[in-house]
Structure 1
Amino acid sequence: MSPHPPPCLLLFLLHLHLLPIHPTLSQSFIYTTFNPTNLTTNGNATITTTGILQLTNVSSHTIGHALYPHPIRFKTPHTNTTLSFSTAFVFSIVPRYRKLGGHGLAFTISPTKHFIGAQPSQYLGLVNVTTNGNSSNHLFAIEFDTVQDFEFSDINDNHVGVNINHMKSVNSTKAGFFVDGNVTKQDLCLHSGKKIQAWVDYDGENHQVDVYLSLFSNKPRKPIMSVFVDLTPVFQEFMYVGFSSSTGVLASSHYVFGWSFNMSGNASSLNVDQFPEPVLPLKKNNNTKGFVFRFGTTLFLVFCIFVIMGGVYIIKKFKIIKKTEAVESWELDLGPHSYCYRELKEGTKGFNEKLLIGFGGSGKVYKGVLPDSGVEIAVKRISRQSKQGQKEFLSEVSTIGRLRHRNLVQLLGWSRNKGELLLVYEFMANGSLDKCIYSGNKPKMILSWDQRFKVIKDVANGLLYLHEGWEQTVVHRDIKAGNVLLDSDLNGKLGDFGLAKLYEHGSNPVTTKVLKASPEELILVDWVWDKWREGCLLDVVDSRLKGEFNEGEVTMVLKVGLMCSNDEPSSRPSMRQVIRYLEREAPVPEIVGPSCYGVVMEIDQHAPALVKLKSL
């Protein structure tokens, strides 16, 4: 017998050695309950004791991922053809605050189980500001988005979108579903806390993605969205399937109850009724059932007492409503959360002056912490003597209370107590912009040019949303560095909507009065114009930057600022034009000198606002 194995045996053994060690174990699966062996989880994702996948809780700025642990073949190895697939899952989004979802979840197909560097909030834990849009992501996702991000052209804060490598959807639609036999689409609120079943089907031959939604177990006949998209350049041969979710300043608990997936036919629909109800925010529960049976007489007496007390309460409440009828009219339909006064008083340690972080003519602003959650907040306490403050309170609640954009300071809620008015905002760790750049020789910090340029673009995006992105045109009327707030990542957010006005789209707000700028601002604008005429525009740049800036960007920003400062509204660019200039999508036109700078006119819907040119 030969001491050496025959060549054919060696080739066979070598072939075995070269086979992939991670083939998919199954091309289909169905889970009506989860355990740690079913999913690979990371971030905030966890599997509850009842077998429910919880991607996020109500903590802010968190990410949760859960993926099937084995790769699945999505392409034929020789022809490179993308295969068809189908999936169904039941999910629920439970917001911490009524009507304020944050941020959403996505069914995703990815080449990896590890989303390194992915950011929360509007990025849904899939990409970050740098990788967003890269073809190397090889990422496919169906997003169930509960926040309108204007930078990604979101249609509203309750939509479903198809995303390819980018958080800007290639197509999206308002969430809803079709009942069989009815051609009318039924509305569906994604963050209602209800169990919702979703189906996603991809036809590899016809390159078509169909998305269905329903509150029931049966799959509707008609999808809410059909999109033609070829996933061949997106998919690699082996990919991972699963879910990603994130929260921002506002947070929701994102649950997945069951999941089915199939590469060789339609995924099995799930019985929605078999899953437990989502965990809703805790409410006080007074269980008196046993007491009723054992102490009927005592219960009757207690009932009588409550009837009497209830009558007194209703009478008092009626009187209060009569006294505050102007407020109650908007309060009934209010979006932001109503806080208990005692909760806010406790969170600010009795409005301790040591926690004072700002003040103005209408009141003071305190740093606070919500006792139950530990979330940091800013509480604006309106002065009882300030009639203007009361007007600003109503203006803030009726405007910013319904606005949702990453570059606007989020109003979390409000409180009223015996004539005292409180507004609750997200806490901005780095305070207002003016404290960073206009504090003489002792600023809070010295922002680099890149940081300043980013803040400028952040505020511009916020203004574009106000002017064009919401259901009405919002005119802020008080743009200044003191009203631009910086979060922990130095993202710029526009706040203080006390002077804001609302207009219908298509109307042309007529200036009713002029707004005078301070002498220092007018002198500074004239100074910048003088430097422009002299051909030494860069002399106005903040000397503390020590020459470390991009000359082209600074020149462009200064020119755009001068255009926005023109006293003729018709000569100012719209915010959409400003964004194009800032993003280098269009060249800045040659500017002409001003005719006069004695007053600053209120903006109309086509003009961005006065850019008060301070030293950059």
Structure 2
Amino acid sequence: MPCPSLSPLFFFFLLLLPSVLSLPFFPSDNLTLYGDAFFSHNAITLTTHQPTCSSSSIGRAFFIYPLRFLDPQTNSTASFSSRFSFSVLSSPSCPSGDGLAFLITSSTHFPALSMGLPQPSPSSSFFAVEFDTTFDPSLGDINDNHVGIDLNSASSFASVDALSRGIDLKSGTIITAWVEYRHAIKMVRVWLAYSSTRPPIPILASQVDLSERLKDFMHVGFTASNGEGSSDYLVHHWQFKIFGYESRSMDVVDEGDCFLCYEGDSKNFGSGSSMGKNEKRKKIGEMALGLGGLTAFVLSVLAAMVVVCVFLRRKKRGVKNMEQGRRSRLQTSKVPTRLSLSEIKSATMGFNRERLVGEGASAKVYKGYLPFGGDVAVKRFERENDVDCLHNPFATEFATMVGYLRHKNLVQLKGWCCEGNELVLVYEFLPNGSLNKVLHRNFNSSIVLSWRQRQNIVLGVASALTYLHEECERQIIHRDVKSCNIMLDADFNAKLGDFGLAEVYEHSSSTRDATIPAGTMGYLAPEYVYSGVPTEKTDVYSFGVVVLEVATGRKPVEDDGTVVVDYVWSLWERRKLVEAADPRLMGNFDALDMERMLLVGLLCVHPDDDKRPRVREAARILKKEAPLPLLPPSKPRVRIRPICPDGTSETQSVVGDWHSTDEAPYLTPRSQFY
């Protein structure tokens, strides 16, 4: 392949001339220091190390100019990403200081709280990512080594134990952090690593809308304090970038403006240009346009010609390798891949109705095919131009899936697309569809689940819910556990999906807000319908209904109005429980195992939520690792415990039994795979 002529390369490098000839700049030109902060060798030291343990040292460093966070093109809050490295040097004879925080604030002059964060004020606003190295129960700290997200308060509304993720903030080792906010999906994500390579999974991800926190212009920088301890908090490098709503990449953009860099840093930390170039550096750059600069320029052109020749020769091969790489990432990566709208339309033949496999009020599901990913389920959300993304089911489901969920019994998110007015999530495709389809829509079909398959399905759902309730970093209440949202793979293994109604809570949280009850009638716990407060026990109730569905083959509410819960309770009262078994099994099951499953189902739908087991306990009973439950001889009455205004708890007995009806079978839109 012939090499390109010199002329295009000459003009190409002529455009690059200013960056090629610019000299290293000094961070002191870019940053303003406050308090005890000072420039040290290739770093900023924010606090001073005192001989006494309680040094009360506070230091801050801000970019010299305020930055605009209002996107002038969309008139909305812009997104941003930041990459920086820091270290904490603690005294062996003193406790560690408060910590360090990456800070975006409306003012650089304010009274300080822990870590030097601003005190709340009606006239000011701030957002911070804290790297906390002390334990302060009054601020709700989880320990003395955590990462948190703060909004106008030193108390974090979301935090994670960094040590459990292999990061010791107080080790003295240089740590690289990536902080990113995407306004389109209202999400903040934070990564941490000891190396300069960003990990595939964020250490902390939380859905938050910063549009009310970030004013038109804000100051960006760092703050740290020692409080009752003594530590040196150093910031070594810092890059920052603001970009608009239309940005197409979901990855952190490292090529931002470098506010704190030194000569040679580009090899170790990434390149960037300063937004604060002043006249002094411009004059120095002009002085560099001498013989040495010209010689370097010519040599650069010659070297680049060789590189371009090699590049063009390998271009065709590179395209093929890139396609193979995308296939590999989509199939094996734990991080969802951003896809273009053209790829989505190609995969679904332009959202062809013949590809439609599921439809609800908020989304439609298509079977798609990606050349580099195989068969996928494409969930297309309904969205109008003025819909608030924060309250869109897409945002809720995406934030939950991408931030927390990795389990063999959960439907895995493979990719996503947010382009124009289209909001799309791409999931793994499960060929046997939903449990609802197999149980209730193929009564005369040859597909009849065996008893062993049914046991495996129930245990799979139990494993997924145990993970959500007890094993996740933050507890997740699904709120919509039902057979429509349980998918079956090629081997009829169960995978729970559809997190459009999910709620995420801190495990230690004791108070939860009441909401309009969401879910599907027949699966809703009576206390949830009454109070609107979701708990893990409301998920347990829904799980119990699914257990009874699987065992009996009946719908939660039959076409004639029969409720499966009441039906099974009536057989239990007449000591004919096993007669509830699905007749399509034709007796091919162990009677004791069937009785055990039905008893577990009844225990989970007990009207008194205190009598319901955790899902983990229910699974142990099913696996014969725990004794059979003791049930009353007849169905108990519903007992509701409302929370009174004075904070006391009282119990209300509802006269008669709780009866579900099919008058309004769906309180919220169904979103299901078929």
TM over 0.5: no
**TM-score range for the pair, normalised by the shorter chain length:** 0.3 to 0.5
